[in-house]
Structure 1
Amino acid sequence: MRILITLPYLPWPITSGGKARQFHLIRELASRGHKLTLLVQSKTEADAATEAALGPLVERLVVLPRRSLRHPRTLWHAAVSPLPLLTTVNGFAPELTRRFVSLLDEGGWDVVQIEHSYGFEPFETELARRAQPFVLTEHNVESELGAATYGKWPAALRLLARYDQARARRWERHVLSRAEAIVAVTESDARTLTAIGGRPAHVVPNGVDTRAFADVWPNVHSRHVLFLGNYEYAPNIDAVEWALTHIWPRVWQRMPEAHFTVCGHGLPAGWRSRFPDPRVHFHGYVARLADVQSASAAFLAPLRFGGGSKLKVLEAMAAGLPLVSTREGLSGLGASDGVHAQVGDTADALADALVRTLSDPAAARAMGESARAHVREHFDWSQAATRLEAVYARLSPAGAMPVVRPCPA
């Protein structure tokens, strides 16, 4: 198949779960002989390393710069547009629209895939004019994700937050109703997106490169606990701050020798001064994840919101790293409490689970290996790619969809 994929970010380097999903699915599709073109609007340039990683996988990589958040056009549309803030940041991009039109003019596309409803605006008019069927992939239910973060906004901005949430719900409904096929990451998200869009959403779960983690052996005696995340994503910031404010003080009362290592892209600069305890280690982006996994006794996933399924959690499970998590952290993964992870949803419950896990290395090792086997059986990227191909096979030929009127901007 000839597949045109639009992305609001480069999938390399892999600094977030969304990027990991995109890179691995692109690699799987390329290995099966599909001809891929990526049209990307990115806040970062495609450097030599990015070209080297993506170049062998795609026929064409077209990268256009995304204007800055302070650009007058962005600020204007954020203030007056009926579209939500994230959509205005990624939308109203004339050069991106022109390149999209040029690619569609070539013809012969078997699949056009739009990644994220918030990235849809530059393509909407042309898709409608041509009655071009497209696949829309949502990694989260964006309107619910936004709602979960609004409580952290300053009180003076709460009215704006509620207004933006209303805009997000309206835009989400509009985009979902126009896609011929909707792809969700979990069954729960699929049910919600189906209700919003009025047509069934297909589940293509996140996966993990199980071979890459096959030789990782956590140090279950180390009493070092790991968390990994992209801190441009609000749920990860909430997870770390909740852990350090409420969970770890309870752990240290009973196990003062335990340590917490926090890794990932976009680490907030203020955390080191806010959380100066020498048992907390901030490392930022880690190029070789296996190194910090091998040095850790457990992975803590104190996620309270976010939707989708969590790539960081899948990777911990694939590495056999004993897992302590909220139910939200395990969403979409089919993991069982006491078998694949220790589960709790309060600070007390998570602290208890963490102390139990660190206190019994043999039981922790067995639980980690059970999780590794579960992921190997159900969440390899090859299985996700097969499900995505099944969605592609259901698409109607171009011209079969009715022309729809774009949402007013």
Structure 2
Amino acid sequence: MLTPYLPYPPVSGGRARTYNLLKRLTRDFAITLVCFGRPEERAFDLSPLQALCDLIVISRPSSPSKWRAALLSLTSIKPITMRLYTSGEFRQAVQRLLRVRLFDLIHVESFYMLQNLPLELPVPVFLSEPAIEYLAWWRHARVARPIYQRPALALEALKMRFFEPQAWSAATLVGVMSEVDARIVKRAAPGVPTALSPNGVDVEYFKPSNVRRDPDNAIFMGDYKYFPNEDAVLYFMREIMPLIRAKRPNFTLTLLGKDATPALTRLAANPRNGLRIQGLVEDTRPYLSRAGLFVCPLRSGSGTRFKLLEALACGCPVVSTSLGAEGLGAQDNRHMRIVDTPQAFADAVLRLLDDPEEAARLSHHGRNWVVERHSWARSAMLLSDIYLSLIGSEDMTALSPSSRRVRRR
């Protein structure tokens, strides 16, 4: 398995996905994990991860500044993400493993990691796409601020649109998080086979409690260096918060997660704005249990959101935009509220805060739906079936040096 990150500790979406799937897959499969890791990440006690798999960590430098990133983008036909995650050391590590061990399957997380594989491979390649990257960048470009950033972001989206479908065509099978993503893949790369490999949540760890909820507080969480999360909070504070506080003057929004940006810190510095930054916490469950609701006002990004699944599993009522709930298959007004205008969003928040019975009804159905459709046990079972189908196939995979397309032999 090749990943662009060290999946321990599981403090973000992709890391949590890989770690939770590994915990379940290693019951039936012997897995070797080759991943990138920064020095500060390698300083953690990695023994829980090493107990699950053979672990090889390749160093990766810190992300470049915005100006250096812009320079990298302008000086290459490749997207900056591909340039950041190409590594001779990583490729050599993979080649050494393939020489000394027999593998039945190679699992690659994210299309930009595929470039670190040798050109000729005798085993199937399963490419898992946690998000459709070109779509995420395009959505980012549409709403980015300052506005002068938008052309550069649109250029990156255009590059991704060229290279990402090429990677899909080079894999034996592409894993997608939702039927929505499957349709996008099939439109962009007709004929590429896909399989559903959805995100999940630990429904035994995240579960409802009997703590009384605060009707004047909502929660949002994420990594705020990731633009869609920062944009979601700024949009909420600018467009939605004034409408809510006109009816509930004491209403506050609490942010969980790391790397609050200067723009968010400035907003939180004024108590009259109603924004609180709690930061990265060891356990999000007490906050999800006490909050009146969870808001997800995302306007950009792609993929399915772990934060929503965790909130629903804890029985926390959720109000989200359509994009925030994209790919989950949730029904508006049954599992959560899904609304897209500032006024409709504010009205949905106020309704749930003012009507505890309605909030409890939504919480009940949301929790049951997550247990049925989005537990890690179910996600791991689906991925295990994918592995077995590929390992049992008589087809062999070779990545052509000229086209990088899979050739059947």
How high is the TM-score relative to the length of structure 2? Answer: 0.90
Check whether the contact 2:289–2:315 (CA below 8 A) recurs between aligned residues.
no
- Equivalent runs, 1:7-406 vs 2, <5 Å: 7-30=3-26, 32-47=27-42, 49-58=44-53, 60-70=54-64, 78-91=73-86, 93-123=87-117, 126=118, 128-151=119-142, 152=144, 154-197=146-189, 198-217=191-210, 219-275=212-268, 276-278=270-272, 279-395=274-390, 400-406=396-402
Alpha-carbon deviations, 1:246-270, whole Å to 9, x = none? 1111000011122211111222133
The CA deviation at 1:271 is 1.5
Q: Percent identity?
A: 28
> Residues 210 and 376 of structure 1 are in contact (CA less than 8 Å); yes or no, is this contact kept in structure 2?
yes
Q: 1:106 to 1:43 in 2, by over 3 A?
A: same
Distance 1:95 1:122, change over 3 A: same
Change over 3 Å in CA distance of 1:49–1:398 after alignment to 2 = farther
Query: How far does residue 156 in structure 1 lie from its aligned partner after superposition?
Result: 4.8
Shift of 1:46: 4.4
Aligned length: 397
Q: Offset at 1:80?
A: 3.4
Q: CA deviation at 1:144?
A: 0.6
Is the 2:216–2:353 contact (alpha carbons within 8 Å) kept by the matching residues of 1?
yes
> Is the 1:229–1:312 contact (alpha carbons within 8 Å) kept by the matching residues of 2?
yes
Q: Residues of 2 paired with 1:370 and 1:70: CA distance?
A: 44
| Cα distance between partner residues in 2 of 1:162 and 1:154 | 14
| Cα RMSD (Å) | 2.3
Residue 110 of structure 1: how far off its partner (Å): 1.5
Greater shift after overlay, 174-183 or 107-116? Answer: 107-116
Contact 2:139 2:299 in 1 (8 A): no
- 1:78/1:54 Cα in 2 relative to 1: closer, same or farther (>3 Å)? same
Give the match's secondary structure for 1:370.
Answer: helix
Contact 2:254 2:275 in 1 (8 A): yes
Q: Residue 264 of structure 1 contacts residue 286 of structure 1 at CA under 8 Å; is this kept in 2?
A: yes
Residues 377-399 of structure 1: per-residue CA shift (max 9 Å, x gap) = 11111111111112112226697
The CA deviation string for residues 18-56 of structure 1, in whole angstroms up to 9 with x for no partner, is 1111111111112x2311111011234444644133122
Q: For residues 267-306 of structure 1, what are the alpha-carbon distances to aligned partners after superposition, in whole Å with 9 as ceiling and x for unaligned?
A: 2133122342353210111111111112211111111222
Deviations 1:179-223 (A, max 9, x none): 001000011001111232331211111111000022434533432
Aligned residues of 2:320 and 2:336 also touching (Cα < 8 A): yes
State the distance in 2 between where 1:135 and 1:366 align: 40
Report if aligned partners of 1:222, 1:296 keep a CA contact under 8 Å in 2: yes
CA contact (8 A) 2:215 2:291 kept: yes
Change (3 A) 1:236 1:131: same
What's the CA shift for 1:155?
5.0
Contact persistence 1:231–1:267 (CA under 8 A): yes
Deviation at 1:117?
0.7
8 Å CA contact 2:202, 2:375 repeated in 1: yes
| Matched position secondary structure for 2:291 | coil
Where in structure 1 are there 5+ consecutive unaligned residues?
Answer: none
Contact 1:220 1:364 in 2 (8 A): no
* Change over 3 Å in CA distance of 1:348–1:159 after alignment to 2: closer
